[in-house]
Amino acid sequence: MKKSLLFAVIGILIMAGLALIGCGGPATEAPQPTQAPAQPTEAPAQPTEAPKPTEAPAQEAVTIQVFYPVAVDAPIADILKGYIDAFQKENPNITVEPVFSGGYGDVKTAIQTTIDGGGKPPALAVMLAVDVYDLINADYIIPLDDYIKGMDDGDAYLNDFFPAFLENSRTEDGSLWSIPFQRSAVVLYYNADLFKENGIEPPDSWEALGQAGQKLTVRDGDNVTRWGIEWPSGWPYWLFQPLAIGNGQNIVGDSSTEVYFDHPKVIEAVQYYIDLSHEYKAMPEGVQAVWGQAPSDLASGQTAMIVHSTGSLRGILEQADFEVGVMPIPGHQKGTFATVPGGGNLYIFKDAPKEQQDAAWKFIEFLSRPENAADFSIHTGYIATRQSAYETQAMKDYIAKTPQAAATRDALQYAGKEFSVQNLGEVRNIFHDYLQKAYNGEMSPADAMAAAQKAADEALAPFRD
């Protein structure tokens, strides 16, 4: 009887415990025992609510500045502000403040002045891709390889950029220092209606280019009413490079300390430029300081062809009332062509706080999305930097209406490396000075290039092993 009474009491206690658990239950679960306990645990006197899921902590607010050049043929400031607004909607903790300067050189000078004066640089800036060695030597920028490694698809991301645009983004050791954004190339624009009227095919060699320019030049006595070609040379290295490349020898090689100014093929390219005015009588003699007016000269009929940047495409198309042809620069031999890339890349600055650098990288990723690369190209005329941008519907629709945009992209297959070396400012000025002396007839091409080579070698000597 005593044993039966004991089991009855235990049964009553178990039922009472179950009743309490059904009313609310414990706040936390008891650990699962490895064997049944000797006697049931007591339910808590007052049940508590189960914990609510914790919310992700709010990201700390960060503000970054981006320095940007606006002295180009497009409404860049408004375009960039539109991208900033869209980016900030996706990243409400990041504020992007644009600081606009005149041109690439102005941006570089503004940053240098700030740093030299003890101030803090921006987190991000668009500067010339060829400035990379100067910026590294000044200890201004950081490599971007770790950010690429941190991406799920870093290799695919980089491989989607046109190789010609990445060439000046890396240094000799393979390190990545910038991301292409506002990029262009040198092309030949021509009045296709005039070509058809005169039975001229788009030139495919130096000789064909000279003959076309000669035929399309119009004179009224000693007065020229229309030049066959304008080839700006006030800032000469960039627009000269396709001539050297098209003759089989670029003025710069793989090394950042070697230039080939006095190579026979480079000298021959200098002579051809001079021949276009002296022999073919197809363009003005000497240095042509017509960079800013050349697009309007083409559109107004004052010249039949110009050598210029793909970044001028939109402005030329808006001004011209004729069919505009676009093509790479004809090379020396028949059926050969050449161009060289140009324009600006996105750089992150070393002295910016880490949180600003990380925010700047997010903005770089945003700007370089295929749809944004396509949009930037459509609204500016610059070449979309990523190949997948041309697979977007927006770009397909644009090219259907503006086939010249495809021609600027296709020119990149003939691109050589843009002029970028150690001590770039001094070496480039040396080349400019002697090239213009040759153009103006002050020195022969051979003598000018020999002097340029000697001076450049001296300027590069401290950077050679």
Which residues are CB-neighbours of 311 under 8 A, at least 6 positions away? 72, 73, 74, 182, 184, 343, 380, 381, 382
Q: What is the pLDDT of residues 262-318, one digit of tens each?
A: 999 999 999 999 999 999 999 999 999 999 999 999 999 999 999 999 999 999 999
pLDDT at residue 36 greater than cutoff 70: no
Q: What pLDDT shows up at residue 446? A: 98
Which of 67-81, 86-100, 184-198, 228-242 has the weakest average pLDDT? 67-81
Q: What pLDDT shows up at residue 44? A: 38
Query: How many angstroms separate the CA atoms of 343 and 385, rounded?
Result: 11
DSSP character string of 174-217: --B--EEEEEEEEEEEEEHHHHHHTT-PPP-SHHHHHHHHHHH-
Q: What pLDDT shows up at residue 305? A: 98
pLDDT at residue 40 greater than cutoff 90: no
DSSP character string of 403-463: THHHHHHHGGGGB------TTHHHHHHHHHHHHHHHHTTSS-HHHHHHHHHHHHHHHHGGG
Query: How many angstroms separate the CA atoms of 187 and 204, rounded?
Result: 13
Q: What pLDDT shows up at residue 73? A: 53
Of all helices (H) and strands (E), which one includes residue 371?
A: helix 370-380
Per the CB < 8 A criterion, the answer to whether 204 and 334 are in contact is: yes
Q: What pLDDT shows up at residue 111? A: 94
Q: What pLDDT shows up at residue 58? A: 57
Per the CB < 8 A criterion, the answer to whether 257 and 332 are in contact is: no
CB atoms within 10 A of CB 288: 23
**pLDDT, mean of residues 155-169:** 96
Q: What is the pLDDT of residues 43-99, one digit of tens each?
A: 333 433 444 444 445 579 999 999 999 865 557 889 999 999 999 999 999 999 999
Q: What pLDDT shows up at residue 12? A: 33
- E strands, 192-336, are 218-220, 223-226, 305-309, 324-327, 329-330
Which residues are CB-neighbours of 290 under 8 A, at least 6 positions away? 230, 232, 234, 297
Of all helices (H) and strands (E), which one includes residue 266?
A: helix 264-278
Query: How many angstroms separate the CA atoms of 20 and 47, rounded?
Result: 9
Structure tokens at 157: 């991301």
Q: What is the pLDDT of residues 313-357, one digit of tens each?
A: 999 999 999 999 999 999 999 999 999 999 999 999 999 999 999
Q: What pLDDT shows up at residue 30? A: 31
* CA dihedral sign, ordered 206, 207, 209, 210: positive
Query: How many angstroms separate the CA atoms of 406 and 263, rounded?
Result: 34
The CA angle 237-238-241, to the nearest 5 degrees, is 80
Look up residue 369 and give its DSSP letter: S
pLDDT at residue 35 greater than cutoff 80: no
Which of 5-19, 92-106, 125-139, 430-444 has the weakest average pLDDT? 5-19
Domains of the chain, with CATH numbers? 62-184+343-411 (3.40.190.10), 185-341+418-463 (3.40.190.10)
The CA angle 236-240-243, to the nearest 5 degrees, is 170
Query: How many angstroms separate the CA atoms of 262 and 446, rounded?
Result: 7
